[in-house]
Structure 1
Amino acid sequence: MNTVSMPPTTDVHPVVQGAQDLIPLLREHLSQTAEQRRLPDSLLRAAADAGLFGLLVPASLGGAAAGLREFVDVARLLGQGDPSAAWTMSFLIAHNWLLARWPEPTQREVFTGDDLPLMAFSANSPNRVKQVPGGYELTGRWGFCSGVMNATWVQLLGLVDGENGPELGLFLVPRDSVEVPDTWFMTGMQGTGSHDVVATDLFVDELFHCDFAQLESPSNPGSALHPEPVYSYDMRDILMPMIPAILLGAAQGLEQIYRQLIETRRGAFSFLPSADTPVGQLRYAKVISHLRTGQALLDHVVQQTVSAASHGPLSDEARVELKLDCLSVSRSAYAAMQAIVHGSGVAIFRAGDITQHFARDIEVMYNHRTVDQDGTMVRVGEVLLGRATDPHPTRNFT
């Protein structure tokens, strides 16, 4: 199992700077990460040394006790280096924040010594869980468990029989107690290692079970233990802007690559580099316009979320507006990628080219269920028009 020693962190800024400093290293390991279909150990160590995995961990547990602004900045910066690595690292960061929301007895078992936990999490799809004396028994298969190849713990979503029917529960198990079949064969986001996870008659002590509704709530057990404001956030407040931030970062990284390309790329029968042509200048301006729009909206989401969270839970109307902005961030990143691809020529489709590597990663992320433009717009329209029939219409807005 992997364990990561966390260097002492007393200031948030060095952690964000550490993410910035990792960009060249992520680029250097781009092919290796894709080929191994996981985060290489050298990158895992570099991220740990930069303090990344303690970014959202409370100070009492040895972390940086940072907030949403820093987390979104880190996710975006990492995306500029390698979207797959950014995905894995960002989820590992966020999942440590989730672990610190569990009840105190569980936290004492997980946050031990100088080593921070590394937790993968799969909610796709929840399997039925059998209650047994002293705990629960898990049998089933969960998909898309990002980061499981680097994890020490795995959190699984299950259905527990309750008084009013099945209830969602979270179950925390050691990584080496589950089977990880080799299922992650992708054309994009290859390095996330989002394999399936299989459990067979796996006993889980009651200590490692938590009600999902309790953990996602601002009044989660960790909120009474840790004074940092981020532990009184709704779970969606942290998770909703994460993937748009990685998408935007990936598009910003692609712009950096494109900027260098158009200084040397010449069209047919032309002696001028693309950057010296009206068409090249027009395309580049469009790219920058999309990225500026995305960055402004992402900044707005963070600012509004932090401000609103200090005054209590967001209303459904406020949350759908922020979700709309997150969708627009993702859409802006995708539009920037398309403009870059259309202006880069056929050569980028050679095997191993970095532009098409980033483009494929962006394509895959843009098809993630949390970025489902049409499905989410339907729910947004229902809420804004007062037509929502679900009593919790924004529950799945992560």
Structure 2
Amino acid sequence: MTACVETAVQDASLPFATVRSQVTVPLRFPDGYSTTADVLTFRGLADGKEHLLLALGQWEQTLLTHDVPLVRLHSECMTGDVFGSQRCDCGPQLREAVEEIAAAGGFLLYLRQEGRGIGLYSKLDAYALQDTGLDTYDANLALGHGEDERDYTAAAQMLGALGATSIRLLSNNPDKADQLTALGIDVAEQVPTGVYLSPANHSYLAAKRDRTAHTLELSRADVGHVPPVPGGTIPSHDEMLSRIDGLVPRLRERAEETERLRRLPESTMTDLKESGVFRILAPLELGGYGMGAETYAEVIRRLARGCASTAWTAGHLIEHVWMLARWPRQVQDEVFAGGPAPLAAATGAPVGSARKVPGGFSVSGHWSFASGVMHAEWALLAVQSDGVRLQCLVPVAELELLDAWHTAGLRGTGSNDLRAVDLFVPQHRAMDWALLSAADNPGSRIHPDPMIHTPMATLLNLVAPAAALGAAEYAVEVFREKMLVRKVKNTVDNRQADSPLAQARFSQAYGTAATARLHWREALSIVSSSLERQPSGLTDDERAKYRLSLALSGEAAEEAVRLAVSGSGGNAHRLSHPLQRIQRDVNVLLNHPTLSRDPILEQAGRGLLSLGFTVPSF
């Protein structure tokens, strides 16, 4: 037994309890986080239950130096802690508490008080009553129980046995602080936990806020429900991709019209909205799907199998919803007032200028490549003010839209120019770019969704490679179909596929597309690994490998398209043929900065050799 435990004093007002055992247990959570806990058991607890105390971090040093330990009283929740139930927030709170306490030094008391003290079976019975319309407290009362039957006498005994008579309490529940104080434990500070919102627990959290004064900030004052989503539920990753696959034939039929319009047809925008595409990265609290980088990238890739211009436009509009969710609450209340997927364009080239004026900024500039602007209500503009880069949020209606997008490829994206002269932007709609793009951004203080807590660069580099890969896979598919029916002049073969040389050419195109796919998946695996330990983001070594893998994927995709086109004869160059459009689109994609070969190879080499990047934004 440690010295601090042996000499601990017990508050005289509590029944005496002693430590009966202490054992070290390594912990590892499903998201990869790991730490070590000293698990203590006790004799003489008032209720006779087998409660546990997990001592975490430098807890002994904290007690010896008379510092105030961070403590959480966590009531057992089998459904949430073990099975990940979304009807409560217990599992995420437990995970958060272990990491927070391990960092600060303190104790997590795991109390055997299932269902706010009514037991597991009764809690499940209460769930059934909640499904009929009762809230979590009225359901308990209907079963003949109290609203909350938990008693924290044993918790106070456990803390007293260690001499921890003054604590910082990690909890949103004022009753815990009140009971501990009455039992002689000084609560020096009550530290709120995060708000772990899901469509299944919104009314549960609202009831805790409204009926028992839990310190919970939900979406708005009128939060009685999570905004509805298509079909009433959030789609799974596979369900979302199935919706996209269903759109691909229609996108192929409209590809020529999309080019002619130099923007997405309204029918395509309607399809995208109805499929929920623009909600993919929107936070759950705002009625979005709260999905991750893998789903986002796969959606772009599969859209590009139908139309690269659609994939590019949709990819950026999805991404910009995610960017808006990183702003402070005042801006979010404004832009998300009309629904969970406000559409915004974003452009940073070239950077405009901003001059400080009363109440905000006077902004001027001429911005190019505003992808999505033809369908957007808002524009995110990069400006410079006194040496600081800002992002300004401006209604598109207040900007001059210049018809400048006349290109060989990606013609259907409508990535036109924007211009403003001395445009007033209110102070609250101008933010430091470094703050918005960081893992610790204003939105990360509002939403628990993991993607909001990641550096912005994680997604900014994904659109072009995903679109190039999907387009290349489409090209190989078209090449295969043509080979099986096409008769080649000046040969004795009935069809191109009967020629050994053509067979070799097809296998080379197929294999090159597979190489692009492998590089792309390698990049996604690097991102997924970094998200498990968020918000730390990518290390320099990982960033180098990530950008290199995406660049090599894009290069291989371009080569696969070239092989498919060169083996498809003169007809492939008719404007009505999809291969010529795919080739033009991919050529433009490979000139985007996120796939620009030379600077990426240079900076990736520096990162892999631990020389440091000379381009900070890499």
Counting matched residue pairs gives 386
**Counterpart position of 1:334:** 558
Does the Cα contact within 8 Å between 1:6 and 1:115 map onto a contact in 2?
Answer: no
Match of 1:124 in 2: 349
Quote the residue 1:17 is aligned against. 242
* Counterpart for residue 438 of structure 2: 217
Partner residue in 2 for 1:383: 607
- Name 1:265's counterpart in structure 2: 486
The structure-2 alpha-carbon separation of the partners of 1:331 and 1:9, relative to structure 1 and needing over 3 Å to count, comes to farther
Percent identity between matched residues is 33
Asked whether the equivalents of residues 153 and 173 of structure 1 are also in contact (C-alpha less than 8 Å), the reply is: yes
Of 369, 390, 400, the residue aligned with 1:179 is 400
* TM-score under structure 2 length normalisation: 0.61
> Within 5 Å, which residues of 2 pair with 1:235-384?
235-270=456-491, 271-311=493-533, 312-384=536-608
Is the contact made by 2:523 and 2:545 (CA closer than 8 Å) also made in structure 1? Answer: no
Residue among 102, 112, 120 paired with 2:327: 102
* Structure 1: gaps of 5 or more residues: none
- Higher Rg of the two aligned structures: 2
Does the C-alpha gap of structure 1 residues 254 and 262 become closer, same or farther in structure 2, counting only changes over 3 Å? same
8 Å contact from structure 1 (residues 9, 63) kept in 2: no
SS in 2 for 1:154: strand
Deviation at 1:175, TM superposition (A): 1.1
> Secondary structure of 2:393's partner?
strand
Separation of aligned partners in 1, 2:510 and 2:369? 33
**Letter matched to residue 339 of structure 1:** L
- Would you identify which runs of 4 or more consecutive aligned residues in structure 1 move more than 4 Å? none
- What does residue 72 of structure 1 align with? 297
Cα separation, 1, equivalents of 2:284 and 2:548: 33
> Which residue of 2 is the match for residue 54 of structure 1?
279
Superposition deviation, residue 115 in structure 1? 6.0
Q: What do residues 195-238 of structure 1 show as CA deviations (whole Å, max 9, x unaligned)?
A: 11001211111111111001111111111211111111111112
What is the aligned-residue RMSD (CA, Å)? 1.5
Range with bigger deviation, 247-256 or 302-311: 302-311
Measured against aligned partners, the alpha-carbon deviations of 1:165-204 in whole angstroms (never above 9, x if no partner) come to x111000011111011111111111000011100121111
Task: Report the secondary structure of 2:270's partner residue.
Answer: helix
* Alignment partners' CA distance in 2, 1:140 and 1:67: 34
Distance 2:568 2:488 in 1: 10
Q: Secondary structure of 1:210's partner? A: strand
Gapped regions of structure 2 (runs ≥ 5) = 1-227
Is 1:112 the counterpart of 2:334? The answer is: no
Which AA in structure 1 matches 2:374?
M
Q: Which digits, 9 at most, give the CA deviation of each residue in 1:144-176, with x for residues without a partner?
A: 101111111100000011xxxx11100001111
Work out whether 1:38 is the aligned partner of 2:259.
Answer: no
Distance 2:229 2:408 in 1: 33
1:260 Cα deviation (Å)?
Answer: 0.8
AA aligned opposite 2:575: A
C-alpha deviation, 1:342, in angstroms: 1.2
Q: In the alignment, which residue of structure 1 is the partner of 2:427?
A: 206
Rounded Cα–Cα distance in structure 2 between residues aligned with 1:347 and 1:113: 47
What is the letter of the counterpart of residue 288 of structure 2?
G
Query: What CA distance in whole angstroms lies between the structure 1 residues aligned with 2:488 and 2:559?
Result: 23
Corresponding residue for 2:371? 146
Q: TM-score, normalised to structure 1's length?
A: 0.94
Mapped to 2, the partners of 1:146 and 1:369 lie a distance apart of 14
**Equivalent position of 1:135 in the other structure:** 360
